[in-house]
C-alpha cells in the first residue's frame, strides 16, 4: 500500500512509537525522509538513524531519544504543509516555533533545512513540519 503523504506517515510512526515508548522505529526510506531524520538528529530530537535493507526494501531505522525520567524528547510533532494544502513562506515570513523553543523543517531551493537556517540563508520554501 502506498500512502498519499509519506512525510505525514513518517511523522505519525515516530509519534506513535514515542507514545508507546519504543526504543526505535522503522520508516520506508526516501531521500527526503533521510534529510528529515538528519535534521532531527542534528537538532537533538533523536539519538541516531541508519539505512537498513530488509528483503529488497530499504527503511530508515530511527533511534528515539528519551529524558532520564523516560519522557520523550519530542513533545509534539506536526505536519504543516499537506498534499491538499501546501504552505509556502518567504524568508521573512518563516514562523518561529514556541518562541524559538522548537523547530520548523522547510524544503528550500538550497535543500531541506530548519527555519532558522533558512532565515540565515535568506531563502523561503515549503514548511514541512514543526517539532517541539
pLDDT digits (tens, 9 = 90+) for 80-99: 999 999 999 999 999 888 88
pLDDT at position 100 is 74
pLDDT mean over 26-30: 96
Domains and CATH numbers, the chain: 6-64 (3.30.1370.30), 77-131 (3.30.1490.10)
The DSSP secondary structure of 17-68, one letter per residue, reads: HHHTT-SEEEEE--HHHHHHHHHHHHTTSEEEEEEEEETTEEEEEEEE-B-T
Q: What's the pTM value of the predicted model, to 2 decimals?
A: 0.92
pLDDT digits (tens, 9 = 90+) for 32-65: 999 999 999 999 999 999 999 988 899 999 999 9
**Could you give the percent of the chain with pLDDT greater than 70?**
98
pLDDT at position 2 is 66
Amino acid at each position: 500500500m502506498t500512502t498519499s503523504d509519506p512525510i505525514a506517515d513518517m511523522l505519525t510512526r515516530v509519534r506513535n512509537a514515542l507514545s508507546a515508548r519504543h526504543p526505535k522505529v522503522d520508516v520506508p526510506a526516501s531521500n527526503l525522509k533521510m534529510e528529515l531524520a538528519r535534521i532531527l538528529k542534528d537538532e537533538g530530537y533523536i539519538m541516531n538513524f541508519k539505512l537498513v535493507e530488509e528483503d529488497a526494501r530499504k527503511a530508515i531505522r530511527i533511534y528515539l531519544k528519551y529524558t532520564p525520567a523516560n519522557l520523550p524528547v519530542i513533545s509534539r510533532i506536526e505536519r504543516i504543509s499537506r498534499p491538499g494544502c501546501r504552505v509556502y513562506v518567504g524568508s521573512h515570513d518563516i514562523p518561529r516555533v514556541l518562541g524559538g523553543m522548537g523547530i520548523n523543517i522547510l524544503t528550500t531551493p538550497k535543500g531541506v533545512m530548519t527555519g532558522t537556517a533558512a532565515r540565515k540563508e535568506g531563502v523561503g520554501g515549503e514548511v514541512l513540519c514543526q517539532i517541539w
